[in-house]
Amino acid sequence: MDDGRPVDSVFKPSEHFTMIFNAFVLMTLFNEINCRKIHGEKNVFRGIFTNPIFYGIWIVTFVVQILLVQYGSFAFACVALTLEQWMWCLFFGVTVLLWNQVKKNYILNFFKF
Binding region for another protein (CB under 8 A): 6, 10, 16-17, 19-21, 23-25, 27-29, 31-32, 34-40, 47, 50-51, 53-54, 56-58, 60-61, 64, 68, 75-78, 92, 95-96, 99-100, 103, 107-108, 113
Nearer to another protein, 1 or 113 (CB): 113
Whole-number minimum distance, CB 10 to another protein, in Å?
6
Q: Which is nearer to another protein, 1 or 20 (CB)?
A: 20
In the complex, what is the shortest distance from the CB of residue 88 to another protein, in angstroms, rounded to a whole number?
8
Distance in Å, CB of 2 to another protein, minimum: 14
Nearest approach, Cβ of 3 to another protein (angstroms)? 14
CA distances from 85 to 20, 45, 91, 106 (A): 11, 27, 10, 30
Nearer to another protein, 1 or 39 (CB): 39
Please answer whether residues 81 and 15 qualify as being in contact, where contact means their C-beta atoms are separated by less than 8 angstroms: yes
Say which residues have a Cβ less than 8 Å from residue 12's Cβ, sequence separation at least 6: none
74 to 15, 21, 71, 92: CA distances (angstroms): 12, 14, 9, 25
Cα dihedral sign, 74-76-77-79: negative
